[in-house]
Amino acid sequence: YWTWRYQYCAVETQVFGQQRVERVVGEKNSGEFFGQLPSYHRLTAKKRAVTKRLYVELSPAQRRAYREMEDMAVAWLNDREEPLVASLPLVKRIRLREMTLGLPSVDNSTGTPILTFEDDCASSKLAALDDFLIGHEGQLLVFTHSQKFAVVAAKRLNAAIWTGKSSDSERAEAKRQFLAGEKQILVATPRSFGTGTDGLQHVCDTMVFLSRDSDTDNIQAIARLEQKEKKSPNVSVIDIVARDTYD
């Protein structure tokens, strides 16, 4: 108990006569303890997140690559010159999920084929997000499970970025820009979006998932806007889902 209390709890000292008593008043870093648990469930008095689904069709290039990977566990990319092979069923499913985000490319610069995304890759989900932004006012959180695609999305949306590869200083700057309104959009990966994000609920009440992560990470990300003193009573969650895919 004492190790846990020292590491995660913020305390204050109260004096009663000649006796000093330490009292736990909250978390040292909001969400840090929950973010390290292998599994947890959070019960709320009422449902505050309103989730909607926005369905899109994959672009022709994405659909062709998706069907090749689905049927043969190999897709021809880079203008049909480079094969992307999935040697195991799990790898195949991972590749199919990535293809719903955008048309990937194969990087052979290191001698080992690596999946990547070009900045201008075909992406039905980003096109749908562009349409959504036309009628949206205010700040917006955008999530994707893919760190590589998060970089592409941030560039195309002129957004701040927060991923597992972001340093503490980069995360602090992204948060500052978002809170100050210098950046309307913050692109992040749910898995990285735990500690250090308190305060976003004051300026934002809408988030878009281009792709989901684990249930625990998704719940944690949504909870960032469900904290007390939030901007509005309800949080809007939009899932952009590609039809006839693993989405």
The answer, as to whether pTM is greater than 0.75, is yes
DSSP class per residue in 23-67: EEEEESSTTHHHHT-SS-----SS--EEEEEEEEPPPHHHHHHHH
Does 75 or 7 have the greater pLDDT score?
A: 75
The pLDDT score that the predictor gives to residue 117 is 96
124-134 and 147-157 helices, crossing angle to 10°: 40
The pLDDT score that the predictor gives to residue 48 is 65
Q: Is the pLDDT of residue 149 over 50?
A: yes
Residues of the chain above pLDDT 90, percent: 56
Q: Residue 240: phi, psi to the nearest 5? A: -90, 115
Residues of the chain above pLDDT 70, percent: 93
The pLDDT score that the predictor gives to residue 58 is 96
CA 85 to CA 77: how far, in whole Å? 10
Which of 34-43, 136-145, 199-208 bottoms out in mean pLDDT, i.e. has the lowest? 34-43
Give per-residue pLDDT as tens, 77-117. Answer: 988 788 889 989 999 999 999 999 999 999 888 877 889 99
The pLDDT score that the predictor gives to residue 3 is 86
Q: Find, among 171, 134, 133, 168, the residue nearest to 150 by Cα.
A: 171
CA 214 to CA 190: how far, in whole Å? 8
**Beta pairing partners, 160:** 186
The confidence band for 179, taking pLDDT boundaries of 50, 70 and 90, is very high
Give per-residue pLDDT as tens, 19-78. Answer: 788 888 888 877 777 777 776 565 554 446 788 999 999 999 999 999 999 999 999 998
- Tell me what the pLDDT averaged over the chain comes to: 88
CA 134 to CA 137: how far, in whole Å? 8
CA 50 to CA 43: how far, in whole Å? 16
Element containing residue 238 per DSSP (H, E): strand 235-242
Among 34-43, 138-147, 230-239, the range with the most confident prediction by mean pLDDT is 138-147
Q: Average pLDDT, stretch 173-183?
A: 95
Residue 101 one-letter amino acid: L
